Amino acid sequence: ALALESFASRRDSLAVVQLDWLEPDPEALAPTTLVLSYRPFQSGPYDSEFPFFYAGGVLVHGFTGTGQADARAPTDFKARLQEGQWWTDVDTGSGVVVRAGAANLTRALLTLCRPSVPEQACEAECGDGLDNDCDGLVDAADPDCQKASSRMGA
């Protein structure tokens, strides 16, 4: 799990996920980048004018610009996640899954996953200790593996 500090306490507290394995969009200035930040319900030097609707969770934004002040490519709000919620990137086709875990006023835990099998496919590697389809379940705990085992007569 990744521990993401509250953006209210540190302006540089964010996670950047560069989707550089995707084919570039010819109309975009740069490949899509996902920007993740944690914005708890609190005031602080960096959140004093932050809209209330966006507070209280992990925020996911997309960005296709080339720099912080690139006005030609504003950030694109994707999701606000609270503990136990997840978001899957379907817009770019990356399939990246962001899951929000436990959080308090200072930090939130989250996991990032990039599937190695298509969505809703049975796991091919049901003994590798990985969550290959990014559904939050590993091997024997994953119903997809259980289905695959029963079809093979295991």
Torsion of CA 46, 50, 55, 58, to 10 degrees: -60
Read off the pLDDT of residues 84-127 as tens digits, 9 standing for 90 and up: 999 999 988 899 999 999 999 889 999 999 988 765 566 567 88
Q: How many angstroms from the chain centroid is the CA of residue 1?
A: 12
Q: Which residues lie closer than 8 Å to 153 by C-beta, 6 or more apart?
A: none
Enter the pTM of the model. 0.80
Distance spanning both ends of the chain, measured CA to CA? 32
Long-range interactions of 16-19: CB distance < 8 A, separation 24+: 17/96, 17/112, 19/89, 19/92, 19/94, 19/96
Domains of the chain, by residue range, sit at 2-114, 115-154
- Cβ-contact 47, 39 below 8 angstroms: yes
pLDDT of residue 120: 57
CA-CA distances (angstroms) from residue 85 to 35, 71, 78?
A: 17, 31, 13
Give the percent of the chain with pLDDT over 70.
77
